[in-house]
A and B are shown apart, each in its own frame.
Chain A
Amino acid sequence: MSAPKTEWPLWEVFVRSRQGLSHKHVGSLHAADATMAISNARDVYTRRQEGTSIWVVKAEDITASTPSDKDVLFDPANDKVYRHPTFYDLPDEVKNM
């Protein structure tokens, strides 16, 4: 089989596990379009009963914060202890917070 002329685009895969409440990023894969991406994700990332739902997003459609902005974006919260959600006693009944 000759090599494809162009690589298939990259997709990021998010899987919601059986107990999970939200989709979690599990990895990436190549696929020609969304249908194939879901199909491939099913085969590559849910072989061992990991998931109940799959999202795929084209990697190029994700806008990420740049690592060099890390200080500007996140440091200011560090010294505002009163904002940190660590002072509350959560009742046991609240399972997912």
Chain B
Amino acid sequence: MADQQHEWILRLGDDALVLAQRLSEWCSHGPALEEDIALSNIALDLLGQARALLTLAGQREGQGRDEDALAYFRTDREFRNALLVELPNGHFGDTIVRQMLFDQFAVLRYEALASQTVDLELAAIAAKALKEVRYHAAHSAQWVVRLGDGTEESHQRVQESLNVLWPYTAELFEDDAVSQACAEAGVLPLNGSFTARWTEQVRAILDEATLTCPESTALLTGGRSGKHTEHLSYMLAEMQVLQRTYPGAEW
């Protein structure tokens, strides 16, 4: 039970950390100054969530690992994020579609976490994060609509982004022994219980964006058990190089 507690908090923390790192790659490369700042703000929000969650995961684990130990001294196989958030940024449309698909899920997950009363520390982190991810969700949905319902080219390009990213979404709703234990403890309902609302909300956004919801039932999965795409290792190499070269370095 204690192991599993640590495990499900790691999943939350790693989703936030890995997506924060990905989005921060946009810093100074955004399509417009204003959007550059928006993406950087979102990256920083996610990083803040990751810090709180990984700190808590470290405490629950009880092995003396803090947020930095968890972020910088685990290998890719030890990361528990969903595959969707580790995928490369691609073009702006790819990033925005990935963000919309994840944000819609993150809002539902944090809503549930914030309203449970079993784990109050986790509820407090979720309540703070919820305000942030609601803004992220509004921002990404707005952009998906603009691009989908924009020019012929922007429509075509985000439709392609959606087709490529869609098979990665099913992993978010998968359940296993860890999420079942989490649900039995009353902390978070089964991931599968979010599917209907998520699908409804995402379809509404896609309809407004005049995009076609892919029919694919392919399931790309493995992140929760540490089986990642090759992209994560490259990302971690860059993220971790300094701490691994000079352990404990501060500035």
Contact A35:B32 (CB < 8 A) given known A1-B91, A43-B37, A44-B37: no
Contact B38 A43 (CB under 8 A): yes
Q: Of residues 17 to 73 in B, which have CB atoms within 8 Å of A's CB atoms?
A: 31-35, 37-38, 41
Contact A44:B34 (CB < 8 A) given known A1-B91, A1-B92, A39-B139: yes
Residues of A in contact (CB 8 Å), total 14
A-B CB contacts (within 8 Å), total count: 33
**Chain A residues whose C-beta falls within 8 Å of the C-beta of B146 in the assembled complex:** 32, 36
Contact B37 A36 (CB under 8 A): no
| Residue B4, interface by CB 8 Å | no
| Residue A17, interface by CB 8 Å | no
Contact A30 B37 (CB under 8 A): no
> In the bound complex, how far is the Cα of B92 from the Cα of A82, in angstroms?
61
| Residue B191, interface by CB 8 Å | no
Contact of A43 among B31, B34, B92, B142 (CB under 8 A): B34
Contact A40:B91 (CB < 8 A) given known A32-B146, A35-B142, A47-B41: no
Contact A31 B41 (CB under 8 A): no
Contact B41 A40 (CB under 8 A): no
**Chain A residues whose C-beta falls within 8 Å of the C-beta of B142 in the assembled complex:** 35-36, 39
| Residues of A participating in the B interface, judged by any CB pair closer than 8 Å | 1, 4, 8, 29-32, 35-36, 39-40, 43-44, 47
